[in-house]
Amino acid sequence: MSRRSKIREKIMSRVHVDEATGCWIWTGPTSGESGRGAGYPRMSLGGQTVAVHLVMWTNEHGYIPGKKEIDHVCRNRLCVRPEDDHLELVTRKRNILRQWEARKAAMVCEEI
Ligand SMILES: [Zn+2]
């Protein structure tokens, strides 16, 4: 089996597929319960702790270019599905803008 298939299999063994959203929910360890950067999937790979959604994306599509990052389009931090509806390669600027838009939308909802 190729290294790619092994990595994919290792990840998929700890994923729960959410039928409603199509999300592949990570059921293994995460980056913690609270604080900045919390709630992201983590795993051990080659002796290192890595972010599972990034490993999954890289495994399928190749390296992430500098100044780009992976955004959760589905807004589910634990999702590791390497497809456009779930994980998308965006510029850092666009990612920040999106988070801001999402927060603003949430605020409007609270006001109503
Ligand atoms: Zn998803």
pLDDT for residue 100: 83
Quote the ligand 1 centre to 32 CA distance (angstroms).
19
Q: How many CB atoms lie within 10 A of CB 11?
A: 22
Quote the ligand 1 centre to 111 CA distance (angstroms).
28
Quote the ligand 1 centre to 83 CA distance (angstroms).
8
Quote the ligand 1 centre to 75 CA distance (angstroms).
7
pLDDT for residue 105: 81
Question: Apex CA 104: angle with CA 56 and CA 53, to 5°?
Answer: 5
What pTM, to 2 d.p., does this model score? 0.82
Quote the ligand 1 centre to 112 CA distance (angstroms).
28
Quote the ligand 1 centre to 91 CA distance (angstroms).
19
Quote the ligand 1 centre to 87 CA distance (angstroms).
7
DSSP, residue by residue, 29-84: -BS-SSSTTTT-BEEEETTEEEEHHHHHHHHHH-PPPTTEEEEETT--TTB---ST
Report which of 56, 33, 34 is spatially closest to residue 43, judged by C-alpha positions: 56
pLDDT for residue 5: 96
Tens of pLDDT along the chain (112 residues) come to 899 999 999 999 999 999 999 999 999 999 998 887 899 999 999 899 999 999 999 999 998 988 899 999 999 999 999 999 999 999 888 788 888 888 888 777 666 5
